[in-house]
Structure 1
Amino acid sequence: METNKKLFPEFAPVTKQQWIEKVNADLKGEDFNRKLVWKNLNDIDFQPFYNVEDSLNYLTNTGENTPALINYRSIKVTSEESGNQQALKAVSEGVTGLLFELEENVPASTLLNGINLNHTAVSFILSKKAVGFTKDFYGFVEDNIHNHKNLRGYFDLGIISNYITTGTIDVQQFETLVNLVKLWKEYPNFKTITISGTAYLDAGSNQVQEVAYTLNSLIYIIEQCLDRDINVQAVFNSLHVQLAIGSEYFVEIGKFRAFNSLLHEIAKKYGVADFKHTLTAKTSVWSKSVTDAHTNLLRATTEAMSAILGNADGVLIDAYDKEFNKASDFSNRIAANIATILKEESYFGKVANPVDGSYYIEEVSTKIAKKALELFKTIEAEGGFYKAFENEWIQTQIAKIRQEKIKLISQRRLPMVGVNKYPNLMEKVASKVLSEGAKSNSKVLTPRRASLEIEALRKVTEQIVEETKKRPIVELTSFGNLTMRKARAAFSYDFIGVSGFEVWQEKSYDSAKQAAEASAKSESDVVVICSSDPDYDESALLFVETFRAINSEKVLLLAGNPVEMMDALTKAGLDGCIHLKSDVIQTIAGVQKKIQKNNKILNG
């Protein structure tokens, strides 16, 4: 039997160059790199397609897809009894990992009563006042674990996460860290050194920065441990890392794989060839929204998928309403179900490393690793993590990326469903749950939502409603070419809907004059002219002049960008234009100011 028979031999193989030539012909003179090559904020270019001709340098030690994925739920312990009740409820709902946030020492026997430590992972975020809990927990474990390998989880003293978010580091915590490493050395799957990089991504960094700065902070921790006579092998064996998960699905997969690979490269530099760390992924704060909050469920799902495919050992999925509400039983249960469904029904973790060999993901992983290693070396050459943070170098670099992201969101080039794209106009949100905007402190990193600036716009609208008992109304007034007026009305509906205004469905008229007269006399607060460029050339000025002769107060906008006519239209009374290049924050803020000014005049 012939085993190497080629399929479809009558078809000649197609080279990559032939594909590119065909694409260029279809582009009709458009630039290939500008139209089809994706340039993301990691300063990495991604090609639109790959084939067997592409020579890829595959990373090693990218991790293993684990069938024993830990599905964590975070529990803030206000008392050992309530903490225990929440833990038991979580386990009954399918959660396989419990993360307790401890502010004070509590009895481990009460907190963990009824929890089978042989099957459920337990982890603890410890404040300085709660460190004494570790010895009590050790005694409880000794009495309840059948095999030392069964105990899974970690301690998080918050040494790095607290430092980068407060600017203060407690050197005494290093002594505690050393004691924990020694005390728990017989429990190989319970980790005592936690390095968290979540604050980087949640403060607006890109993936390369998150990977590099997390590794830089690891070097800092290693050196502190070595100064205190902890063996470097013990450090790596005790290591737990937590990274945030962003919304760029494939890039996030590559990020986790790149991190694992670089971690092993660093270990080799210290002479450590074999070790077993754990890597937990947490859904990001940055990508979540208060408006259209159920969309957070979709974001959390894709984030969890990318982390699992990127070979994370555990996931911590926040409740979809955590950003504006105390998580309910429903939102907690749904968050837990996401990981359960992915693991049990989508077979994640039941297929060994399913993304290995994918041209695209292999390249993403390799490029992130290369860029992150370059940045990592730069920090180390300049004195290391602590010096770079004290000199605000890390904060400044993250701030640059954050501002670029916010700019792209405001220009709607970085879409966020329910925030700057496809807003839910039926949704009513109380002003008190919306942000007033971001507060900056150049000395520290502040985890925040990407949507804060747009939330601040929405907050102004809701305050107008609360003060006037009336929601501002936007009227889409169209005339002329059917196709273009419909398209521009749909664009305007989506663009200005971000504001939280009431947006009426498009009203079409037979002429510009008729449209102007009707909209000037209506009850709307804002009017948007929607038509085609030829119709604007012919009738836009007439519309504005007719409109302003009747109504001088309303906000009047035009959907489109008739550059050659703008001076005349502005002089006649047009307030502005909305189009693909418009900044949604600047535009809507200007509209709100005029509405508030008109309200003050009316109220006297």
Structure 2
Amino acid sequence: MKNKLFNEFDTVSSKQWKQQIQYELKGADYNETLVWESPEGIKVRPFYHNDEDAIATPQTQKEKTFQIVQNIFVFDVEKSIKKAKDALLRGAESIRFTIENESTDIHQLLSDLDIEKNTIYLNLKFLSADFIKKVNQIASAKNTLIYCLVDPIHQLASDGNWFNAEGKDNFEILQSLVSECKNSSFIHVNASLYQNAGANMVQQLAYSLAQVNEYFNKIENYSQPICIEIAVGTNYFFEIAKIRTLRILFKALASEYQFTGNLHILTTPTRRNKTLYDYNVNMLRTTTECMSAILGGADAVANLAYDAIYHKDNEFGDRISRNQLLVLKHESYFDKVDNAADGAYYIENVTAQLAEKALTLFKDIENNGGLLKQLKEGTIQHKIQESAQKEQDLFDSGKEILLGTNKYPNPKDRMKDDLELYPFVKINPRKTLITPIIEKRLAEKTEQERLASENQ
């Protein structure tokens, strides 16, 4: 800060602070007592000081404040339109439609919406050049941009197989759209899979970057924004740093390919720490996760309803999750300051370390054939499983706490009659090209045991 506050106080150096801390510890070891190490191998100190931590990381400037996204699953087009209009009237600024069927009438779905003012995301569960061309025609007529969230690599990693695209190469289909579809963003990296499956932050960043690199290598002359979707957990300051790091690493990679398009970061709270019992605590978790996303510089935030793991979409859950973001934006004023974390020595330090470690892992992936090769060999799956098991062991031993589940559980909670959705990993034996990466919540085993005891 150029204009220092409290000039009447003498400055205290980092060395002086350490000496005082060591004195107060009465002989206990400073490093063993106060320094802890994150799963990413980052040592976190009790304090940070500008005489040793003033790291000049590049600013994470984004174009505008974050947008509030409403998720809508499209089953009935007319009902989806009605729901979208209602959500926009109640504070949503963007709509993310999940579309499973290529036969969905996209013209009808978008015709009555103000897509010039409200960003539209189409989460496509299929890959169709014809469908994306239809979307582009609609966007072109309105002189706007629509995000087609279609990610063949995520499809392979999560399902084990590519999109069923009539035998055509998935990347060739996307390449065929480059020259014609200038009003649709169709390179999408859904990196939420890695966090939800248990990868640590360095892995999440490195795998996201490696996934972007695969698209840069396989699709030429693409100039529209690239959308990266990430999941955010409850390690508050680390998650802020993670999003900042993603922008820094993306900018460095994009410059190598002379890519001048924008990076658009879409965030959503992780499912990994969400719980079936004492489910209202999920609202506390998603609130801090959304705060991290906003302060980290996300362009859009799609909140997760507190009951999303066991209830179908419902008006109450949607309204509460949307209102959480409205409170952060309009009552907490999270939209008033850009780059709020700039100059925070702790966050800057963690950002720099995450960037260094993620870049090292990214280079190792590329030196060993790239992300796709390592997915086919099972290397990525193995590394994520290792990280996930370490976290699971911490949860099982009580060192990682989820209130209401492995700490202070309410034995009177009953959930078996409230399950509209199956909240656990589904096993579907089938032939796949690779071993899929499986998303799994930390509390699943504990919850299954509790559900079984309800019948006794």
- Structure 1 gaps of 5+ residues are 465-604
Q: CA deviation at 1:432?
A: 7.9
Q: CA deviation at 1:101?
A: 1.4
Does the 8 Å CA contact 2:135/2:146 hold for their aligned counterparts?
A: no
Does the 8 Å CA contact 1:74/1:100 hold for their aligned counterparts?
A: yes
1:413–1:163 Cα change, 3 Å: same
Does the 8 Å CA contact 1:202/1:449 hold for their aligned counterparts?
A: yes
What amino acid is the match of 2:159? T
Does the 8 Å CA contact 1:431/1:463 hold for their aligned counterparts?
A: no
C-alpha distance in 2, partners of 1:159/1:6? 52
Matches within 5 A, 1:462-501: 462-464=454-456
C-alpha distance in 2, partners of 1:318/1:427? 22
Does the 8 Å CA contact 1:244/1:283 hold for their aligned counterparts?
A: yes
Quote the residue 1:74 is aligned against: 71
Does the 8 Å CA contact 2:424/2:440 hold for their aligned counterparts?
A: no
Quote the residue 1:373 is aligned against: 359
Q: Does 1:342 align with 2:334?
A: no
Quote the residue 1:594 is aligned against: none
Matches within 5 A, 1:161-172: 161-170=154-163, 172=169
Matches within 5 A, 1:190-589: 190-225=184-219, 230-231=220-221, 234-235=222-223, 237-272=224-259, 274-430=260-416, 433=419, 443-464=435-456
SS in 1 for 2:407: coil
Does the 8 Å CA contact 2:136/2:146 hold for their aligned counterparts?
A: no
Q: CA deviation at 1:26?
A: 2.1
Q: Specify which of 85, 99, 104 is matched with residue 88 of structure 1.
A: 85
Q: CA deviation at 1:132?
A: 3.2
Does the 8 Å CA contact 2:309/2:423 hold for their aligned counterparts?
A: no
- Deviation per CA, 1:187-245: give whole Å up to 9, x if none: 3xx422101100000000111101100111111111111xxxx22xx25x331111111
C-alpha distance in 2, partners of 1:65/1:300? 25
TM-score under structure 1 length normalisation? 0.69
1:345–1:407 Cα change, 3 Å: same
What amino acid is the match of 2:193? A
C-alpha distance in 1, partners of 2:59/2:180? 29
What amino acid is the match of 2:227? H
Q: Specify which of 122, 145, 156 is matched with residue 149 of structure 2.
A: 156
Quote the residue 2:37 is aligned against: 39
C-alpha distance in 2, partners of 1:297/1:6? 37
Q: CA deviation at 1:426?
A: 3.9
- Deviation per CA, 1:537-577: give whole Å up to 9, x if none: xxxxxxxxxxxxxxxxxxxxxxxxxxxxxxxxxxxxxxxxx
- Deviation per CA, 1:374-425: give whole Å up to 9, x if none: 1101100111111111111111111111111111111211111111122234
1:191–1:28 Cα change, 3 Å: same
C-alpha distance in 1, partners of 2:48/2:330? 32
1:130–1:101 Cα change, 3 Å: farther
Q: Does 1:103 align with 2:100?
A: yes
What amino acid is the match of 2:352? T
Q: CA deviation at 1:446?
A: 1.0
What amino acid is the match of 1:87? A
Q: Does 1:173 align with 2:170?
A: yes
Does the 8 Å CA contact 1:438/1:453 hold for their aligned counterparts?
A: no
1:134–1:23 Cα change, 3 Å: same
Q: CA deviation at 1:12?
A: 4.2
SS in 2 for 1:240: strand
C-alpha distance in 1, partners of 2:5/2:225? 51
- Deviation per CA, 1:449-499: give whole Å up to 9, x if none: 1211221221232132xxxxxxxxxxxxxxxxxxxxxxxxxxxxxxxxxxx
State the identity %: 30
Does the 8 Å CA contact 2:305/2:317 hold for their aligned counterparts?
A: yes
Q: CA deviation at 1:431?
A: 7.2
| Structure with the greater alpha carbon radius of gyration | 1
Quote the residue 1:556 is aligned against: none
C-alpha distance in 1, partners of 2:5/2:193? 52
Does the 8 Å CA contact 1:73/1:336 hold for their aligned counterparts?
A: yes
What amino acid is the match of 1:155? C
What amino acid is the match of 1:428? R
C-alpha distance in 1, partners of 2:417/2:20? 53
What amino acid is the match of 2:253? I
SS in 2 for 1:443: coil
C-alpha distance in 2, partners of 1:258/1:400? 23
Does the 8 Å CA contact 2:94/2:120 hold for their aligned counterparts?
A: yes
C-alpha distance in 1, partners of 2:69/2:344? 29
1:428–1:137 Cα change, 3 Å: same
1:129–1:181 Cα change, 3 Å: closer
Does the 8 Å CA contact 1:61/1:264 hold for their aligned counterparts?
A: no
C-alpha distance in 2, partners of 1:440/1:139? 38
SS in 1 for 2:50: coil
Q: CA deviation at 1:327?
A: 2.3
What amino acid is the match of 2:256? K
- Structure 2 gaps of 5+ residues are none
More helix by share: 1
Quote the residue 2:179 is aligned against: 182
What amino acid is the match of 2:225? S
C-alpha distance in 1, partners of 2:94/2:6? 48
Q: Specify which of 129, 135, 140 is matched with residue 137 of structure 1.
A: 135
TM-score under structure 2 length normalisation? 0.91
C-alpha distance in 2, partners of 1:200/1:401? 11
SS in 2 for 1:354: coil
What amino acid is the match of 1:327? D
SS in 1 for 2:207: helix
- Deviation per CA, 1:559-598: give whole Å up to 9, x if none: xxxxxxxxxxxxxxxxxxxxxxxxxxxxxxxxxxxxxxxx
Does the 8 Å CA contact 1:436/1:459 hold for their aligned counterparts?
A: no
Higher relative contact order (CA 8 A, sep 6+): 2
Q: CA deviation at 1:338?
A: 1.5
C-alpha distance in 2, partners of 1:7/1:203? 47
